[in-house]
Amino acid sequence: MCQLLGMNSHAAASIRFSFTGFAQRGGCTADHVDGWGIAFYEPSGTRAFLDDRPASQSPLADFVRSYPIRSHNVISHIRKATQGAVGLANTHPFSREWQGQPWYFAHNGDLQNFHPPLDGSYLPVGSTDSEKAFCYLMQRLRTAFATEQRAPGWQALAPELAACNEEIARHGNFNYLLTNGEALFVHCSSQLASLQRAHPFPRAQLVDCDLSMDLGELNAQGDRMVIVATEPLTQGEDWQTLNTGDTQVFAGGELVWAHHCPRTRRFAVPGEALCGLISTELSATDPYQV
């Protein structure tokens, strides 16, 4: 099991508040110590930060928490290795380009006997089932829209992805976050929760560390965003649990498409251990924090 965090926001927003709690799961409030990564879709382009150290002890994670980056889409992942050695090549999120768009993908789960027919359009660099699934998803999209001259919109992509999800999820839990910067595509096999925030923004309290923040001071009236995470990051907010077989698409900070596949099953997952709250400081001066 790994931990996923995603954001889709109407206005470019900072993920620092959520990431501060989330990073604690990389070795502190949960035992996911096999590296972490985060990809940002900023107004001028994308960038990712990857590290093979535990997120809770990573100087790079400290840097990311302190660096004010505003994005419309973010995907982050904290790894607990099931397949593939610990190392940068197996660290999520993975990235590939299609139709001049950078795509990022992060996965939580364990796919068994998964040998998709990869045609060479995209091949894994590392040795995880996750990257193999990402390459196959991208190959399926490339094939399905081979005659298109431009990147299709989420309206066209979503049904194609939902069909792939059903197929891949037969091999194991396939909880994932995928984005091309236009929309955040989400699939749930076993565990994911989402939260929409909009005016009036609450005062939020992280569950992984002793930190709260008045999000109303930091966000404007028209702002709205969706946070998706393996487990809720805050207490006292209206987190929605996704169901096994759900494919959801978020764009402009709201749910825009949903599909439920009743045939998808949830595979057994090893238990997770919690080890207490951590007191953490975070500057409240950066607006649009979520």
In angstroms, how far is the first alpha carbon of the chain from the final one?
24
Contact 166, 263 (CB under 8 A): yes
Query: What tokens appear for 40 in the block?
Result: 């940002």
The reply to whether 2 belongs to the active site is yes
The residue within the footprint of a second copy, chosen from 95, 196, 205, 243 (CB under 8 A), is: 95
- The single-letter code of the amino acid at 63 is F
The residue within the footprint of a second copy, chosen from 20, 46, 73, 248 (CB under 8 A), is: 46
- The DSSP call for residue 19 is H
- Cα-based angle 43, 47, 52 (whole degrees, multiple of 5): 150
Is residue 156 a contact residue for a second copy (CB under 8 A)?
no
Q: What's the alpha-carbon Rg for the chain, to the nearest Å?
A: 18
Q: What separation in angstroms does the CA of 91 have from each of 165, 229, 289?
A: 21, 18, 26
Closest to 177 in 3D by CA, of 92, 82, 287: 92
Stretch that binds a second copy, among 80-88, 185-193, 217-225, 264-272 (CB under 8 A): 80-88
The residue within the footprint of a second copy, chosen from 115, 123, 254, 265 (CB under 8 A), is: 123
The size of the interface with a second copy (CB under 8 A), counted in residues, is: 36
Is residue 85 a contact residue for a second copy (CB under 8 A)?
yes
CB of 16 to a second copy, least distance (A): 14
Closest to 78 in 3D by CA, of 88, 67, 91: 91
CB of 214 to a second copy, least distance (A): 26
CB of 36 to a second copy, least distance (A): 12
Is residue 45 a contact residue for a second copy (CB under 8 A)?
yes
Using the minimum distance from each CB to a second copy, give the nearer residue, 51 or 208: 51
| Distance between CA atoms of residues 179 and 74, nearest Å | 8
Is residue 120 a contact residue for a second copy (CB under 8 A)?
yes
| Sign of the dihedral through C-alpha 201, 202, 207, 209 | positive
Is residue 89 a contact residue for a second copy (CB under 8 A)?
yes
Using the minimum distance from each CB to a second copy, give the nearer residue, 121 or 212: 121
Using the minimum distance from each CB to a second copy, give the nearer residue, 43 or 117: 43
Enzyme catalytic residues: 2
Site for a second copy, rule CB under 8 A: 42-52, 59-60, 63, 67, 85-91, 95-97, 99-102, 120-126
